[in-house]
């Protein structure tokens, strides 16, 4: 005769414990996943801020290099050499 399964019958204690451990593990993994997601979002924001700073520095450098090129174009080469020698030593 096949076994009768009833909700009123006592459940297998090892199966209940296993499900409990699995539920706890799942909850722990979900919490860890949320923590990693928050960390990733924070790092992404930090990266965005740093990229903005790099872009600002690059723009400033381009302006300075353009100014240097214009000044060099306006000065006679002999005066430019004299100025460079004085600035170096």
For the stretch 45-72, pLDDT in tens is 999 999 999 999 999 999 999 998 888 8
Check: CB of residue 80 under 8 Å from CB of residue 72: yes
What pLDDT does residue 84 have?
82
pLDDT digits (tens, 9 = 90+) for 28-52: 999 999 999 999 999 999 999 999 9
Tell me which residue of 53, 75, 77, 57 sits closest to 65, measured CA to CA.
57
Which residue spans within the chain are E strands per DSSP?
A: none
Residue 34 lies in a domain: yes
* 8 assigned to some structural domain: no
What's the pLDDT at 75? 77
Asked whether residue 47 is domain-assigned, the answer is yes
- If you search the block for the tokens 């919490």, which residue do you land on? 31
Whether the per-residue pLDDT at 16 is higher than 90: the answer is no
Query: Does 1 fall in a domain?
Result: no
Is 41 part of any domain?
yes
pLDDT number for residue 18: 74
- Is residue 5 domain-resident? no
Inside any domain, residue 74: yes
Per the structure, the count of domains in the chain is: 1
What does pTM read for this prediction? 0.52
Domain that holds residue 47: 13-88
């Amino acid at each position: 005769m096949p076994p009768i399964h009833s909700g009123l019958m006592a459940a297998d204690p090892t199966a209940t414990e296993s499900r409990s451990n699995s539920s706890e593990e799942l909850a722990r993994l979900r919490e860890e996943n949320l923590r990693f997601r928050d960390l990733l979002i924070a790092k992404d924001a930090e990266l965005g801020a740093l990229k903005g700073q790099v872009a600002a520095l690059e723009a400033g450098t381009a302006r300075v290099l353009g100014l240097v090129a214009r000044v060099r174009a306006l000065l006679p080469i002999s005066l430019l050499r004299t100025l460079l020698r004085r600035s170096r030593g």
